C-alpha cells in the first residue's frame, strides 16, 4: 500500500537570535550570535555564567495574563510558536476536521523553573504553600495539552521526551501518524525553558557546559578544536505537518516535504555517544532508506553539532562512515553555534533551519569555527555562509541516553 505524502505548511520559531521564523532566518543568514551573560539569576557561585537566553519575548502577545501565571515558561514558548505556525500555515480551523488534527509536542525537561520555585516554597514555608498548579505546570506533556485546548484539536495528543532528540522524535511520530492515515494535520515540535540554576549547576557538575566566561561570545564553537562544552539555550519550534492532498485542496503554501525518518539507539552509555557515532550513522542511514533515495542525493546536513568533545568527533565520523567519498561533497553546519543548545527544542528549531536552507538554497555559517582537528575535515561552513542548491537535507539530533533521530526533508515538487 502506498504511503501518504507529508508536507510542511506552517512554521513557528522562538530562538535566542529571533522571536519569529523571519527573525530567526535573518539571524542565521547574518551569523548572529545569541550568547550573553545570564540575566535570570545571580551566577556568582556558578562555574558557567552565560547562556543563550530569549530576548524581548512578550508572553502577553499570545496568552492572557492570568492564564500565563499558571504556566511554566516552556508552555509559554509552546503556545507562542503554535500561534506563529498556525498563522503561517493559513489553516482555517473552522474548515478542517478537528478529530483528524492532533498535537505531538515535547520537552526534554519540562517545567524546571516551576519545580525550583515550588521546592523553595516547600522548604521555606512547608507543604501547604505548594501551588495547586504545581504538577500541571511542571509536567512535560502539558504544552501539548494546552496547544490542543487552545485550538480545539481532538486528534492524537501526547508528548515525547528523549533529551536532545525530543522534538525530532515528536516530528517523526507526527509524520508517521499522517502517513498511516490516523491524522490529516499535526502540530509538532518542542520547547525548553531551562536557563535556571539547577540546570546550569547540573550540567556544570556533569562537566558538559563551556566555562569560557571571559569570552562567552566565542564559547559555542562546534567542530572547533578548542571547544570545551555546549552552551545552554532556550526557546521553541513548531511545524505544522499536513497530508499532501489535504494541503493542495486548500491551496496551502508548502515549505518542504518530509520524506524519511531514522530513529535508533546507541545502547552504549548514558551521556557518551557510541564509538565512531554508530547510532548516528544508522539513524541517518535509516532516514535515507525510509525515503527510498541514495546517499549521494543528500546535499546538506544540519548537524547536531553541540560543541562538545565527543559529539562533534563522533558525528563527523558517522557522516564519513556512512557517506564515504560523498561526505566531502556535503555542506554541514551547526545552528547551535548561534543559538546554543535548546535541548528538547533543538530538533524542531533546527528542522526549521534545515527547511529554510532548502527553500532558499542557502547554507548558514557555523560561527566561531576557527580551527578543526585533522580528522574533522568535512565542509562545516566555517564563519561564512554559502549559496548551494539543496534538494535533500538531513537534520540530526542525538540525546543523552543514546537516543538518535534524523529527519529527511526534500524540496517540494508536485
Q: What is the pLDDT of residues 60-112, one digit of tens each?
A: 999 999 999 999 999 999 999 999 999 999 999 999 999 999 999 999 999 99
- Overall average pLDDT of the 264-288 stretch: 96
With a threshold of 0.85, does the pTM exceed it?
A: yes
* DSSP result, 86-139: HHHHT--GGGS-GGGEEEEEE-SS-SHHHHHHHHHHHHHH-GGGS-TTHHHHH-
Cell of 264: 535508533
Q: Which residue has the cell 530538533?
A: 347
Q: Reduce the DSSP state of residue 367 to 3 states and report it.
A: coil
Per the CB < 8 A criterion, the answer to whether 266 and 278 are in contact is: yes
Give the residue range(s) of CATH 3.40.47.10 domains in the chain. Answer: 7-249, 261-410
Q: Give me the catalytic one of 100, 164, 246, 403.
A: 164
Q: How many C-beta atoms lie closer than 10 Å to residue 49's C-beta?
A: 17
Active-site residue 164, yes or no? Answer: yes
Active-site residue 304, yes or no? Answer: yes
Q: Give me the catalytic one of 83, 304, 314, 403.
A: 304
Q: Domain 7-249: what homologous superfamily? A: Thiolase/Chalcone synthase (3.40.47.10)
Judge whether residue 138 has pLDDT over 90. Answer: yes
Residue of 108, 44, 37, 39 whose CA lies nearest to 77: 108
- Cα–Cα distance, 409 to 290 (Å, whole number): 12
Q: Give me the catalytic one of 169, 246, 341, 403.
A: 341
Q: What is the pLDDT of residues 287-335, one digit of tens each?
A: 999 999 999 999 999 999 999 999 999 999 999 999 999 999 999 999 9
| pLDDT recorded at residue 1 | 57
Q: What is the pLDDT of residues 19-40, one digit of tens each?
A: 999 999 999 999 999 999 999 9
- Overall average pLDDT of the 161-169 stretch: 98
| Confidence category of residue 2, pLDDT binned at 50, 70, 90 | confident
CATH (residue range 261-410): 3.40.47.10
Backbone angles phi, psi at 363, to 5 degrees: -105, 115
Amino acid at each position: 500500500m502506498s504511503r501518504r505524502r507529508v508536507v510542511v505548511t506552517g512554521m513557528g520559531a522562538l530562538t535566542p537570535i529571533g522571536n519569529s521564523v523571519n527573525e530567526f532566518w535573518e539571524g542565521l543568514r547574518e551569523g548572529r550570535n545569541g550568547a550573553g551573560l545570564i540575566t535570570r539569576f545571580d551566577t556568582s557561585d556558578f562555574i558557567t555564567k552565560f547562556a543563550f537566553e530569549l530576548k524581548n519575548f512578550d508572553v502577553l502577545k499570545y496568552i492572557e495574563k492570568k492564564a500565563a501565571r499558571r504556566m511554566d515558561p516552556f508552555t509559554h514558548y509552546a503556545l507562542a510558536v503554535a500561534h506563529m505556525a498556525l498563522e503561517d500555515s493559513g489553516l482555517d480551523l473552522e474548515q478542517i476536521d478537528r478529530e483528524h488534527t492532533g498535537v505531538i509536542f515535547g520537552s526534554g525537561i519540562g517545567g524546571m523553573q516551576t519545580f525550583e520555585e515550588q521546592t523553595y516554597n516547600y522548604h521555606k514555608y512547608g507543604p501547604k504553600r505548594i501551588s495547586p498548579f504545581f504538577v500541571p505546570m511542571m509536567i512535560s506533556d502539558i504544552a501539548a495539552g494546552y496547544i490542543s485546548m487552545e485550538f480545539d484539536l481532538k486528534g492524537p495528543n501526547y508528548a515525547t521526551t528523549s533529551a536532545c532528540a525530543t522534538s525530532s522524535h515528536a516530528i517523526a511520530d507526527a509524520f508517521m501518524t499522517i502517513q498511516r492515515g490516523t491524522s490529516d494535520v499535526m502540530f509538532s515540535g518542542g520547547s525548553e525553558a531551562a536557563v535556571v540554576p539547577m540546570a546550569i549547576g547540573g550540567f556544570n557538575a556533569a562537566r558538559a557546559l563551556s566555562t569560557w566566561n571571559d569570552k562567552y561570545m566565542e564559547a559555542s564553537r562546534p567542530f572547533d578544536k578548542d571547544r570545551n562544552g555546549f552552551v545552554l539555550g532556550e526557546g521553541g519550534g513548531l511545524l505544522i505537518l499536513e497530508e499532501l492532498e489535504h494541503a493542495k485542496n486548500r491551496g496551502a503554501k508548502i515549505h518542504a516535504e518530509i520524506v524519511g525518518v531514522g530513529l535508533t539507539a546507541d545502547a552504549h552509555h548514558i551521556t557518551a555517544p557510541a564509538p565512531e557515532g554508530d547510532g548516528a550513522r544508522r539513524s541517518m542511514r535509516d532516514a535515507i532508506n525510509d525515503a527510498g533515495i541514495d546517499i549521494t542525493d543528500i546535499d546538506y546536513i544540519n548537524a547536531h553539532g553541540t560543541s562538545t568533545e565527543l559529539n562533534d568527533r563522533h558525528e563527523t565520523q558517522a557522516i564519513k562512515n556512512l557517506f564515504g567519498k560523498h561526505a566531502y561533497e556535503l555542506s554541514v553546519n551547526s545552528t547551535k553555534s548561534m543559538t546554543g543548545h535548546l535541548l528538547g527544542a533543538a530538533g524542531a528549531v533546527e528542522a526549521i533551519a534545515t527547511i529554510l536552507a532548502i527553500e532558499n538554497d542557502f547554507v548558514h555559517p557555523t560561527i566561531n569555527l576557527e580551527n578543526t582537528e585533522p580528522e574533522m575535515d568535512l565542509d562545516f561552513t566555517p564563519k561564512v555562509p554559502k549559496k548551494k542548491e539543496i534538494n535533500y537535507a538531513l537534520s540530526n539530533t542525538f540525546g543523552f541516553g543514546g537516543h538518535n533521530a534524523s529527519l529527511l526533508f526534500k524540496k517540494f515538487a508536485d
